[in-house]
Amino acid sequence: MIQRIQTIYLIVAFLLVGVLPFVFPLWTLSDGKDYFFMQNQIYAILFGLNTAITVYSIISFKKRQTQFVANRLNIVLNLILLGLFVYHSLNLPGEAVTVSEKGIGMFLPVLAIVFLVLANKAIKKDEDLVKSVDRLR
């Protein structure tokens, strides 16, 4: 349901992990070429899983608990992706030779985590509202 705020948060998270990685490079190599997530198979798999879980969470709006668990799994995948980015950017020997500039694509998982946490807060609020109404019956 589009009128629920968590759906809006999930759509923004979908845009962050499903659309914007095609636009923004992860980093720029020293020869001026942009390095996108598609050039590394692990990054492509993790971004694809994030996108699929976000779409599943948007579709399963009637099952709030399933949506909540899917968002938690998505947060964990984004943390793994962020950890891989940090590992790659800090652990390269002679980094000045291979990577000259970090791109905004490395920060997309951070923004996605923020919106997934906001969606989980809204889902929890809806669940508490439904439980309070059930008590009044």
Q: What are the distances in angstroms from CA 65 to CA 19, 34, 77, 79, 100?
A: 26, 40, 19, 21, 44
> What is the tens place of the pLDDT at every residue in 11-23?
999 999 999 989 8
Q: What is the pLDDT of residues 117-127, one digit of tens each?
A: 999 999 999 88
pLDDT the model gives residue 133: 81
Pinpoint the alpha helices (H) of 15-136.
20-23, 41-59, 64-90, 95-98, 108-136
Q: Where are the domains of the chain?
A: 5-136
Question: Which parts of the chain sit beneath pLDDT 70?
Answer: 1-2, 91-100, 136-137
